[in-house]
Structure 1
């Protein structure tokens, strides 16, 4: 009861004064205002931007709450009266603390309009938002305990506010990599030690990602406990002889325990709770399944530089990799083992006969450079961070470099390597994609001559070179072919990839038909049109279409599929940057942003979440693509199963093909234009019927024949279930767009499913997905800006006015009674 008496007194003192309402209103206007300033620009259905700046706001807001808790009592000389009451000091401290905590929670709950808006406009990850708010509660509670502790030393509220704010910022900044690196540059290891043991910034990162780590929870709870205990001790003993000396010694001891406690547990793996929707930070169910199916154990060796030789940002890299290796080991049923070797780059240059570092160099494991900060100067360090994987008598697989950016995909990187090592041979993939031989510009040839290089007149422009390299990196045996009589589909090919086919002849269509009928897998990305942009007038633009004539529909229509011949337009589109020779400033070309409905944007809401290929992709740019016409009834009658991978938005429409420039009515739809969603990609599997059955085998065109090739017409048909993934767009896999958005993941996901099945894709698709809000009008944006920023502050303002009027009325009534 005594605790509740103090609690009630303090909570009433907040709301009996207009200051409390002003605090909350200012807090909401600043925090929600900053978030809304960029929300509709980013269009992300999450609150990441809000919680990234929230700790900084709390460093200012929390000291404003706590500055009066003891300082006001000291200034008004009521503190001695409080301490003489029949109430224990710790009850006084807890009453004040929990009153301030409730006030803070009310302020935090007042931001509820933000998640409300996000849930209405999109489909955010509920678990991530929950942990972000939980982290904010713990951080605020920690800062409150710190603030009440400092307030106990101060008689002036302003002094209490400034000191609390400085300490909050100090603890927060200690946890940032930049500050830790700067300190390490002068005193090695000190910055990293302070970051792990005292820094707050890294403690809230896991909450922001959707993970509750018990180490972080223990940090905040231990800090709260220590500051409240110290505050109770100080308020109880401050007037005793030698109180300051004894308290100082006791505080140092408790601070030391707190620091060592956090530093010790920073390297101790404790329970983590993954609240993300896709369980991003939890092992996939597929990994244990693959590991347990191994016929003998696999050995993983981690070669890494010691932490004292690492830059500050990488000092925890070994621990993070080891945590993932431990998870795999525990779930493998004894089939996954690992060893860690500490190696140093300095030993490579030593003249000794043999060393581990030199043997690693022969395997292809070499040190690499990373940036470091030494005495406020940027420098570089040579470090090791590599993995080798050994399985049976197979050649070792090497992963030469693992950095923090690779950690989210480390499970997939390891398991995919292990899985492919269990195969009897590398899966073979044949790639058919256009490339052109071009003449090198004269200016470039002159530069080559000046550099003493041999003059080159021609060069190969290969827009799909990155797709080729990615397949090789992923462990596929890739063969680039032209699909002619001279370069046919290799017999042991598992998957045939055809990107941007142009003017395919009857024999090429026959070869693809035969490959599918025989149980092969085909990835077909058809680019019906390429659009050309021409500068026109002042900042004007003309756009015309070029028909690439893929000539594939005559084959696809037999299976109920067709690449539409109309232009596809979509109001949900993306800005692209074009460099035009028509716009020059001196010798420099100007990059011009262009936003047209042929630059179609695909967001996660339009993707099939039931298929691993597209279940966890983010945004795609379906540049100049066309729709697919899918006859599901015909597919069903043929015994083929078809699933749409993704569609255009509900705001898309078609325009009949015409030559010349696009017209204004093509780009800006008329009022009577019918909008609808169109399928853009489809996954078909089953026994494909032989389109050329009982027909004469087509001959190769004369320019593609091989005079030395024998048996060109000897075709074997052995019907088996095949797979086909069809896209109405190939520019997604062009090297200029390949690493943008989720194009790379879409491509490799498709190849993996076609070649190896869905298991590996389920691991890769487990990554964090960024969800986007739906398209809304300008009026709706204005409404949400006003609602989220001003609704709760307006309500609080009205409540504050009503409260003030009621208090004034009670005061006048009381004075009238006295008179």
Structure 2
């Protein structure tokens, strides 16, 4: 094994050196970086955050050009020169030959991607990076590079013409990139729509670069890489053994087994999702406060998601993340959280339930065959506890979904709401007029009221959990100020906005 790996290392090093001994490789690398960074800096100043998300959003489209250009000659050139048979008769195995080609091409593309690190360093002077998300963005890019390079190697093993290999590999990568988009899925039946979303390079890549390592995405990229490399190995062996040979029959069985295992692993991964949140603020994990509230639920909370099967592509990740978040709630709740998903488009009873709750179909403008088309769909949520209901008519984003769900659960399961009082009478603004959204959010979980010192109220009530004094413009009389000080000294809480 040691000699095997040593030989593989030497072969990979030789292949990688061949790239950097060719002036064309430097030209391709330079053009790739110039175009990539031009597209990034063209839009970066429109956003008020230090993030490389824009940089990585366009990467799949640039790899569509770079990877075929890098891999087109790996095997096709040897076929056209008639040296492939000679190379396969050397004292190296076909697998070593193939892996050296793959690893060298992958390293070249990886170097091109990592050359953008100076951009990250320079932007770090203008704002604080989330290093966890930055790491996942580069890791996701390497996963994408691995999968696309394996496709390029496979296509190169089929042709003698490098140009044919370039065009074909670019086409395959393009199809796998757009297959999950609205442009494709709108005209597909439900089963094919779900399949297209799961085999799309873009959907899995977008999931990783947001800062989450999901087992579904990792298995997808690794299985795609292994499948295309195994197919490449088969065609190499077919070249070495011109006639039907026992090695070819074994290879066919091996390739079939690998493809089957890859499919099964991807199916199982979708049933058992595990993920690692790499973001510094754990943006995609339940907070400690949420976990505490969920663990203290006295009875079962039922959550129902009303979701259409054919949502526009941009809302498919929202539905996926919603399911993941609800699974996290269910796991922490230990049987106290139950959720289900209903499709109002296919279930008349579910449609009636959604309508009665105020969850209605939303219209989307989508493009179908170069025409604008109006499409309706559901993506709402209802929380039920002991006859109480709270709902979200349409989930636009999961960014604040945890906050809303935890607020609903706490508000419905708490035995008594804490009391918050807005002090009035000194020029403070009416909370309903000055802070309507703030006041509405407080009403969801607390008993909110106002207090004005007058003949009927000359003292602070005994049971106040928090006193809010919002921007007084007049002096608070000494006797009232003394009451406020005494309230604070006795352990009371106050929010003073000045």
Q: Distance in 2 between matches of 1:60 and 1:382?
A: 36
Q: Distance in 2 between matches of 1:54 and 1:11?
A: 22
Give a deviation string over 1:704-728, Cα, whole Å, max 9, x none. xxxxxxxxxxxxxxxx223344445
Report the counterpart of residue 379 of structure 1 in structure 2: 374
Report the counterpart of residue 289 of structure 2 in structure 1: 286
Report the counterpart of residue 297 of structure 1 in structure 2: 299
Give a deviation string over 1:185-223, Cα, whole Å, max 9, x none. xx3442332111x10111012321111112111111111
Report the counterpart of residue 342 of structure 1 in structure 2: 342
Q: Distance in 2 between matches of 1:360 and 1:77?
A: 67
Report the counterpart of residue 742 of structure 1 in structure 2: none
Report the counterpart of residue 389 of structure 1 in structure 2: 384
Q: Distance in 2 between matches of 1:481 and 1:127?
A: 47
Superposition map of 1:304-323 within 5 A: 304-305=306-307, 308=309, 320-323=321-324
Q: Distance in 2 between matches of 1:63 and 1:269?
A: 34
Report the counterpart of residue 113 of structure 1 in structure 2: 118
Q: Distance in 2 between matches of 1:189 and 1:202?
A: 17
Q: Distance in 1 between matches of 2:281 and 2:135?
A: 15
Q: Distance in 2 between matches of 1:409 and 1:4?
A: 49
The answer to whether the Cα contact below 8 Å between 2:94 and 2:237 also exists between their aligned partners in 1 is yes
Give a deviation string over 1:293-349, Cα, whole Å, max 9, x none. 34x2332231524x5465665567665434323322332355x2314263636876x
Superposition map of 1:52-71 within 5 A: 52-71=57-76
Report the counterpart of residue 98 of structure 1 in structure 2: 103
CA displacement at 1:227 relative to structure 2 = 0.8
Q: Structure 2: state its 5+ residue gaps.
A: 1-5
Structure 1 pair 139/374, CA: closer, same or farther in 2 (3 Å)? closer
Which of 5, 8, 11 is residue 6 of structure 1 equivalent to? 11
Q: Distance in 2 between matches of 1:341 and 1:104?
A: 42
1:399 aligns with 2:399: no
The answer to whether the Cα contact below 8 Å between 2:215 and 2:269 also exists between their aligned partners in 1 is no
Q: Secondary structure at the match of 2:283?
A: coil
The answer to whether the Cα contact below 8 Å between 1:309 and 1:383 also exists between their aligned partners in 2 is no
1:476 aligns with 2:478: no
TM (norm. structure 1) is: 0.53
Q: Which of these two proteins has the greater Rg computed from alpha carbons? A: 1
Q: Distance in 1 between matches of 2:186 and 2:438?
A: 41
The answer to whether the Cα contact below 8 Å between 2:344 and 2:351 also exists between their aligned partners in 1 is yes
Structure 1 pair 76/346, CA: closer, same or farther in 2 (3 Å)? closer
CA displacement at 1:17 relative to structure 2 = 1.4
Give a deviation string over 1:770-803, Cα, whole Å, max 9, x none. xxxxxxxxxxxxxxxxxxxxxxxxxxxxxxxxxx
Equivalenced residue count is 482
The answer to whether the Cα contact below 8 Å between 2:366 and 2:373 also exists between their aligned partners in 1 is yes
The answer to whether the Cα contact below 8 Å between 1:429 and 1:495 also exists between their aligned partners in 2 is yes
Which of 184, 187, 193 is residue 183 of structure 1 equivalent to? 187
Structure 1 pair 426/125, CA: closer, same or farther in 2 (3 Å)? same
Structure 1 pair 157/515, CA: closer, same or farther in 2 (3 Å)? farther
The answer to whether the Cα contact below 8 Å between 1:193 and 1:263 also exists between their aligned partners in 2 is no
CA displacement at 1:286 relative to structure 2 = 2.3
Give a deviation string over 1:727-760, Cα, whole Å, max 9, x none. 45xxxxxxxxxxxxxxxxxxxxxxxxxxxxxxxx
CA displacement at 1:97 relative to structure 2 = 1.0
Superposition map of 1:144-183 within 5 A: 144-176=149-181, 178-183=182-187
Structure 1 pair 333/32, CA: closer, same or farther in 2 (3 Å)? same
Report the counterpart of residue 669 of structure 1 in structure 2: none
The answer to whether the Cα contact below 8 Å between 2:466 and 2:495 also exists between their aligned partners in 1 is no
Superposition map of 1:724-743 within 5 A: 724-728=494-498
Superposition map of 1:584-603 within 5 A: none
Higher relative contact order (CA 8 A, sep 6+): 1
Structure 1 pair 92/488, CA: closer, same or farther in 2 (3 Å)? farther
Q: Distance in 2 between matches of 1:136 and 1:155?
A: 29
Superposition map of 1:505-654 within 5 A: 506-507=476-477, 511=480, 513=481, 516-519=484-487
The answer to whether the Cα contact below 8 Å between 1:146 and 1:227 also exists between their aligned partners in 2 is yes
TM (norm. structure 2) is: 0.83
Q: Secondary structure at the match of 1:388?
A: strand
The answer to whether the Cα contact below 8 Å between 1:180 and 1:195 also exists between their aligned partners in 2 is no
Report the counterpart of residue 3 of structure 2 in structure 1: none
The answer to whether the Cα contact below 8 Å between 1:365 and 1:386 also exists between their aligned partners in 2 is no
Structure 1 pair 276/486, CA: closer, same or farther in 2 (3 Å)? same
Report the counterpart of residue 208 of structure 2 in structure 1: 207
Q: Distance in 1 between matches of 2:423 and 2:178?
A: 51
Give a deviation string over 1:655-702, Cα, whole Å, max 9, x none. xxxxxxxxxxxxxxxxxxxxxxxxxxxxxxx52xxxxxxxxxxxxxxx
The answer to whether the Cα contact below 8 Å between 1:192 and 1:312 also exists between their aligned partners in 2 is no
The answer to whether the Cα contact below 8 Å between 1:299 and 1:390 also exists between their aligned partners in 2 is yes
Report the counterpart of residue 564 of structure 1 in structure 2: none
The answer to whether the Cα contact below 8 Å between 1:430 and 1:479 also exists between their aligned partners in 2 is yes
Report the counterpart of residue 272 of structure 1 in structure 2: 275
CA displacement at 1:43 relative to structure 2 = 4.5
Which of 387, 400, 404 is residue 409 of structure 1 equivalent to? 400
Q: Distance in 2 between matches of 1:174 and 1:494?
A: 55
Superposition map of 1:343-362 within 5 A: 344=344
Q: Distance in 2 between matches of 1:241 and 1:180?
A: 41
Q: Distance in 1 between matches of 2:377 and 2:206?
A: 28
Q: What RMSD over aligned residues (CA atoms) do the two structures have, in Å?
A: 3.7
Q: Distance in 2 between matches of 1:188 and 1:208?
A: 27
Q: Distance in 2 between matches of 1:58 and 1:316?
A: 23
Q: Distance in 1 between matches of 2:208 and 2:120?
A: 16
Q: Secondary structure at the match of 1:408?
A: coil
Structure 1 pair 499/52, CA: closer, same or farther in 2 (3 Å)? same
Report the counterpart of residue 554 of structure 1 in structure 2: none
Q: Secondary structure at the match of 2:58?
A: helix
